[in-house]
Amino acid sequence: MSNYLVAMEAAWLVRDVDDIDDAIGVAVSEAGKRLNDQNKEYVEVEVGATPCPACGEPFDSAFIAANTALVGLLLEIDVFNADSEEHASRIAKSEVGGALRDVPLSVIEVVETGEGDEDNAETQAHNHG
C-alpha cells in the first residue's frame, strides 16, 4: 500500500460576472465552501493553468462569454494506503465528487508520495501540506 497526491481538474461555471479575476475568486470560494460544508477541508483548491496555444506560457484557466465564466480549478488531495495509482484516483474522485455534485472532474496527475501504514489498511483521504 502506498500514499498518493492526486490532482484533479474541475470545470466551474460562474454566472453574471464581467471580470476574470472576479470569476476566479467566486469559483475558488464556492468550491471551497462546498468542500468545507462536507468536511473536506483537506482538499486544496486553486485556479488551474492552461498553456497559451501560441507561446506555451501558462495563464489562468478562465474564460468569459455572455457574462458567464468557465473556470478550470485545480483540486489536490492526499490519499493514504491505496493499492495503486488507479485506486488512488477512484478514491479521490469519490471523495471530491461527493461534495461537488454536478461538477465535471478529471484526474490530471497522480504522484506516489511514499509507503502507506501497513497497520492501518483502511484507505483514507487527509490534509495535503
pLDDT band at 128 (very low <50, low <70, confident <90, very high): very low
- Between 104 and 118, the more confident residue is 104
In a domain, 122, yes or no: no
In a domain, 129, yes or no: no
pLDDT at residue 126 above 60? Answer: no
Q: How many CA atoms lie within 13 A of 97 on its CB side?
A: 11
In a domain, 99, yes or no: yes
Written as one string, the DSSP assignment of 9-46 is EEEEEEES---HHHHHHHHHHHHHHHHHHTT-TTSEEE
In a domain, 10, yes or no: yes
What residue numbers bound the domain in which 79 lies? 2-115
pLDDT at residue 71 above 70? Answer: yes
Q: Kindly report the CA angle at 47 between 41 and 48, in degrees rounded to 5?
A: 115
- Between 22 and 117, the more confident residue is 22
Percent of the chain whose pLDDT exceeds 90: 79
pLDDT at residue 91, rounded to an integer: 95
**Overall number of domains in the chain:** 1
CATH number at residue 30: 3.30.70
In a domain, 128, yes or no: no
pLDDT at residue 127, rounded to an integer: 41
Q: How far apart are CA 30 and CA 10, in angstroms?
A: 12
Q: How far apart are CA 122 and CA 23, in angstroms?
A: 38
In tens, the pLDDT along 14-56 reads 999 999 999 999 999 999 999 999 999 999 999 999 988 899 8
Q: How far apart are CA 75 and CA 108, in angstroms?
A: 10
In a domain, 124, yes or no: no
In a domain, 67, yes or no: yes
In a domain, 127, yes or no: no
For the entire predicted model, the pTM comes to 0.84
